[in-house]
Every structure is written in C-alpha cells, then in structure tokens.
Chain A
C-alpha cells in the first residue's frame, strides 16, 4: 500500500506541475492576477508531494520491501541501514526521483526567496520550472517508475553495487544534482526575461545568486565524485577524462562562463544576448549530461540500465528544451539593445576573453566526448579519445585564462589604463616568477610544466591577497567591512590557485608503483618505507575481506599501520578494493592490495601523491567563495527600493 501512495503522489505532482506551467505562463501573458497568484502555492505543493514520494520509497528500503522491484534490485537484507537509505538514489529510477526532489526543491526555494521580485516575473519563472518538472515526471512515470511491483515478491534482494556502498555515494549524487538542476532556475529566469521582453540589469541581478548557487553545488559534486573515484575505485587517479566525468564538467565550464557574463550584464548591461545564450546552454548541457549518463550510450559505473526508450525520451526532452528556447531567443534577440560600450582594455573585454576561452574549452571537451559516439552511431568503427587529447587541448586553453584571472578584478569597467594595471600587478608578477623558477629546485626536479603551474598559482594567489589588502588600506576598513560578493570572488579565485598548485605538484612529483611483496619485504615511496607484514581474513556485515597489514615508517621510525582491504561481497560475489591512505594535508601515501600470488605474497599498489588534497581543498574554497557571494546583502534589498529604482530607470530609458 505504501509504495502506491508514492506512485499516486507522483501522478498528482504531474497534474499540479502542468497546471502551474500553463496557468502561470498564461496568467503572466494576459495579466490575470489570480492565475499569477497560483504559481507560488503550486510550487510548494509539488515539493511537498515529491517529498511524500521520496519518503515512501525510503520507507520501502528501510523495511526491506522486496516486492518493490527497484528495492529488490538495489538492496539486500544484509545491507546496513545507512546504505539502505542511500540506496534510494543508488539506481536509475531512484536517482531520477532524487532529481525531481531537487527540481521541485529549487522551485520551492524560488517561491520563498522571491519576495522582492514582481509577481509576474515569479509566475513566469515558476511556470517554466513547472513545465521542466512535468517533462521529467513524464519521463519517470512512463519509463522509470521506481514504485513498480514485483510479483511474487522475491525473498532476497540483489544488493546495492558494492562500489556504491560508500560514504562518498551518499553525498555525491545529491550535490551533483543540486548543481545540474539548479541551472534550470537560471534557465527559467532567462526564458522568463525573453518572454517578458525585459532583458536588463535587474534581470541579471535576480538570476545571479541562483546561477552562483547552482555553480557552487556543481563544483562540490564534481569534487566529491573525483575524491570518491580516487579512493574507492582503487586507481589512485583524481580525474580520468572519462565521458561521465566530462558530462558533468561541460556544464561546469559553461556555468562558470555564465556567472562571469552575468556580472557584466548586471554591472554594465552588456553581453545580454550572450548571457541568455549561456543560461540556455548551461541547462541544456546539464540535460545532455543526464542523457549521456543515463541512456546507456556510455557504459560506466553510472549507467544503470540500457533501456533504449529512456535514452530516446531524454533526447526528446533535450530537443524540446533546446529547440523551443532557441526559437524564443531568435524571436527576441534582435530587440535586445547593445548595452554599455567599453574600450579594448577594460574589465568587460577581459571577461569576454574569459568567456571565449571557457566556451572553447567546453567545446573541445564536448568534441572529445561525443566524437566516438558519433563515429559509432554512423557505423564507422569504434574508437576512444584518451586523456592525452584532453590534456593537450585543455591546458593550453586554461593558461591564458589563469593569467587573466589576476588582471580582471583590478581592471576598471569601461576603460582600464595599462599603467594602473602594472601598478597593481608588478608585485604578483615578481613573486610568481621567483616561485615558478625557484620552488621546483627545492622540490627536487625542475620541469617547465611544474614551473609554469606554480608560477600561475602564485600569480593568482598573490594578486588576490594584494587586492584585498590594497582595498582595506584605501578604504581604511577591516576585512569584515568589504562587500561579501567581492570577497567571495577573491576566495573562489584563491581556490583556483590552490587547485592549480595541487594539480601541478601531483602531476609533477607523484610516484606510482605496482610491486610484488612477500611478508617482511619493504618498498619505499617518496622517502617513506612500507613494510608488508601479511594479510588476515575478516568478516564484514555483508562481505568477507582480506585485510593487509602494512607498516609505514620514515628513517626507521614507525608512523602507523595501514590496512588496505580486498573485499568480496557475499550477495553479488563482486570483488572490491579498499585503498588505505595516510594523509597529512601535504601528501598522501596510498596503498591498495592487488591479488594474492604464491607463497603468501601479494601484488601491491604503492602511490606517493604530494599535495593531492589541495585539489579538493581548492574546490571547497571555490564553493565557499560562491556561498559568500550569494549571501551578499545587495541581492536581498527591499522591494520598495528596487521598485523606485525601476521606475527611475524606466523613466530615463
């Protein structure tokens, strides 16, 4: 009975979403205040209904109701409670329900945090979101119903994929989806502005915090996925340019371009068409990512099922979203004015270059990801595009972007003087050169790439610190008195610097060895000695494990014991590697068991990864920067003040 309540609640949501989409948009077009007023309560009702659905599915998992097909496929009576809960989104159907929860949650947030916006605008935004929700609900109900029953009910479930029985999985999909789906709000704002024919800086100010919020979640989601792959897959790499990773990275690149372009539109009313196009692209590319990952076109840990109907449906949804929004754009774009003019050297042109570089980089990643699929679809053979392609294209494109990153924040809008820029940047330039040339010598081996990476990271970090200090001196105020959005930008840029430093040092100085170890033998990595003591058997809740004992020491002093595991899950008989990592913020010593060999020996993977933590610390700083930016007071100014400004603006234009 309980699962049927969840199913019924999904169907009800579909009708509410459709009604909201049609009534709110029609009401906004015809000025019908009653229909417009329907938008907010409808958005709240949808969120509530989806919560009911989600909770019933969660309940079915908790009570081990294997008569629900999805529960039987993704759970098992021995599965610990924590993983039974996270298994709700461990498979295809449940992860779509999570998507819907996020989608309606964002709409709910818009309905709550939009008191300062005109009701007509809110109705349009929520109407567009309602239609998007309806599209996904149709997808769930027609092709991927999580509440489908299995009769007769099996006694035992098939178990959750062991790779997904991990703390990383509990947070990775929700964060990633928050990002993906969050861009639908920026998309809805763009469509609403196009519908109203009102593309101006107020619109940019409204959608900016939403785009930044989505971006910060996407950043965290990607970072968590990278961390999870690093320790759970046992390969010790943090990024593989895998098509699935790429499909989350492409919206990130375009979304990053979007938040920068929105800044120009808000401050200078320029780039309006381009910003709208980016808002449409970011959400469309999120949908494309969902299609690639969910359709079974790509085979990976993320691909749950290969039902071709699903792929076709998402592709249709993608086509409808892209087609209709680009059509609307084509109708309205010619009426949009040019906006403020600017000189060749100005913050606008620097941000334009940033946008071009990010867009080209996204294009290059799209090409590398989709080309093999096209060739395969055309029957021209099978091929793959390896990491060397992405590195060869991506790194040269990002070098100028990183160089300009320090220049943009100190350049004036409209027109900047080179002499003024030099005054701001000569200190960072000198420091960056010194660190770039000197630091690799101290770290051991000098290489041009390490020097370049460290110089760029130092250049950005020094410029950030100097920018903040200069401003505090000039205004004679403390750090607390600075605008939060401005501090947020600097913090995010500092995150990029930390990230670049981490990537550079890992790529430059990591060591990876696969060795055969007999009990008592020693191997050294990065100045540490690892002594293999042996392997013991152990029993876990739903698996049996062989646990290695490896003694980590430096210069004869024993530091700790590391326990890498090789697990075999009972229900699926699937082997799993659990790596053991000794971390101290500056380096990782990473050990993973391979296979048992003769005489009690094992093949063992021993990695030394300097500064690998900085990659994820950098991402966290970027996300914190985003959080600071959206907490800026200026986005929550009273409606009355805004109205006065609107009237004044309307009178002069």
Chain B
C-alpha cells in the first residue's frame, strides 16, 4: 500500500513537473519566435506590423547616413530586388559596412521604416550571414523565374 502511494506520488510529481515545463516552454515559444523576412517579402506586405522580426540582405552601397546626434544611423538593406530603409541607434558591429551582408532585428513602422533594435554582422568577413545569403538567393531565383 505504502509503496504504491509512493510510486503514485512520484509519478504525479513527475507529470506535474513535466506539464508545467511544457506550459512554460510553449508559452515562451509563442511570444519569442523571431521570424526572418527578405526585403522582397517585406515590401510585399508579408511581414507583421507591431511584432519583432528579422530582415537581411546587403547594405546598399552609398546608403549609410549618420544622423546629427552621431549615434543614429540610417541605411538601406537590399536583396538586389527590393530595398528596405532601416534606422538604428547605437554602435554598429565592427564588420558592418556598405556592400556587405547584414541582418537587422526590430519592428516595421507604419511609415515603412524598419527600426532596428539589434544589428548583426558576421564574426568573420569571409562569411555571409546565412539569412542574408538566403535573401539574396531567393531574390535571384525570383528574377530568373520572372524572366521571359
């Protein structure tokens, strides 16, 4: 009798712990998944408003403009097909530069300006961020597909 109780209690405890953990995980998952969109997808209106997401591609050459406060930077992210204006306040990563790959995480405003909270560039300049590469590949595929 006693052993059965003990085992029941252990099983109940295990199930409860597992249930709570699952609930925590799913709850946190729901709100913390950050999706990636290419500039083409963003201009097609596929990206959500009022929710954080990532956009990536190349920094358009000649598009980087520093604002008068010295810390806000505006630049354009392109996948060669479409362009998205981005603004970021803070210090950019060492490897951020024009003509190189970049991934920005933030929210899209109603005015079409992407306000980045975080800008990621690569640790090593030989490598392209995989997401940025993906954006370029997708755009290249689309241009080939639409060509007559």
Q: Which residues of A contact B (CB under 8 A)?
A: 161, 163, 234, 299-301, 303, 341, 343-344, 349, 352-353, 356-357, 360, 363-364, 367-368, 371, 381-386, 388-389, 392-393, 396-397, 514-516, 572-577, 592, 594-595, 597-598, 601, 603, 605
Interface contact A360-B125, CB-CB below 8 Å:
no
| A-B interface pairs (CB < 8 A), number | 107
Given A356-B17, A385-B32, A389-B32, A595 and B123 touching (CB < 8 A)? no
In the complex, which of the residues B36, B54, B70, B125 contacts A603, with contact meaning CB atoms closer than 8 Å?
B70
Q: Cβ of B125: which chain A residues have Cβ within 8 Å of it?
A: 572-574
In the complex, which of the residues B10, B70, B94 contacts A352, with contact meaning CB atoms closer than 8 Å?
B10
Residue ID in chain A nearest B129 by CB atoms: A299
Interface contact A388-B28, CB-CB below 8 Å:
yes
Q: At the interface, yes or no: B130 with Cβ under 8 Å from chain A? A: yes
Interface contact B6-A344, CB-CB below 8 Å:
yes
In the complex, which of the residues B54, B69, B94, B129 contacts A577, with contact meaning CB atoms closer than 8 Å?
B94
- B residues 1-55 near A (Cβ < 8 Å) are 3, 6, 9-10, 13-14, 17-18, 21, 24-25, 27-29, 31-36, 54
Q: Cβ of B94: which chain A residues have Cβ within 8 Å of it?
A: 234, 574-577
A-B residue pairs in contact (CB < 8 Å), sample of 28: A161-B124, A163-B124, A301-B124, A303-B127, A343-B6, A344-B6, A353-B13, A356-B14, A356-B18, A360-B17, A364-B25, A368-B29, A383-B33, A383-B36, A389-B28, A389-B29, A389-B32, A392-B24, A392-B27, A393-B21, A393-B24, A393-B25, A393-B28, A397-B24, A514-B90, A573-B125, A575-B95, A605-B91
Interface contact A386-B32, CB-CB below 8 Å:
yes
In the complex, which of the residues B10, B33, B34, B92 contacts A344, with contact meaning CB atoms closer than 8 Å?
B10
What's the Cα separation between A643 and B115 when bound, in Å?
71
Residue ID in chain B nearest A381 by CB atoms: B35
Interface contact A516-B36, CB-CB below 8 Å:
no
Q: Which residues of B contact A (CB under 8 A)?
A: 3, 6, 9-10, 13-14, 17-18, 21, 24-25, 27-29, 31-36, 54, 66, 69-71, 89-92, 94-95, 122-125, 127, 129-131, 134
What's the Cα separation between A382 and B123 when bound, in Å?
20
In the complex, which of the residues B3, B21, B89 contacts A364, with contact meaning CB atoms closer than 8 Å?
B21
Q: Cβ of A516: which chain B residues have Cβ within 8 Å of it?
A: 69-71
In the complex, which of the residues B9, B36, B127 contacts A381, with contact meaning CB atoms closer than 8 Å?
B36
Instruction: For residue A9, give the distance in angstroms from its CB to the closest CB of chain B.
Output: 31
In the complex, which of the residues B6, B27, B34, B90 contacts A385, with contact meaning CB atoms closer than 8 Å?
B34
Interface contact A574-B24, CB-CB below 8 Å:
no
Residue ID in chain B nearest A574 by CB atoms: B125
Interface contact B123-A163, CB-CB below 8 Å:
yes
In the complex, which of the residues B10, B95, B127 contacts A349, with contact meaning CB atoms closer than 8 Å?
B10
What's the Cα separation between A299 and B14 when bound, in Å?
37
What's the Cα separation between A352 and B66 when bound, in Å?
57
Instruction: For residue B22, give the distance in angstroms from its CB to the closest CB of chain A.
Output: 9
What's the Cα separation between A238 and B18 when bound, in Å?
29
Interface contact B71-A603, CB-CB below 8 Å:
yes
Residue ID in chain A nearest B36 by CB atoms: A382
Residue ID in chain A nearest B52 by CB atoms: A386
In the complex, which of the residues A299, A382, A396, A605 contacts B35, with contact meaning CB atoms closer than 8 Å?
A382
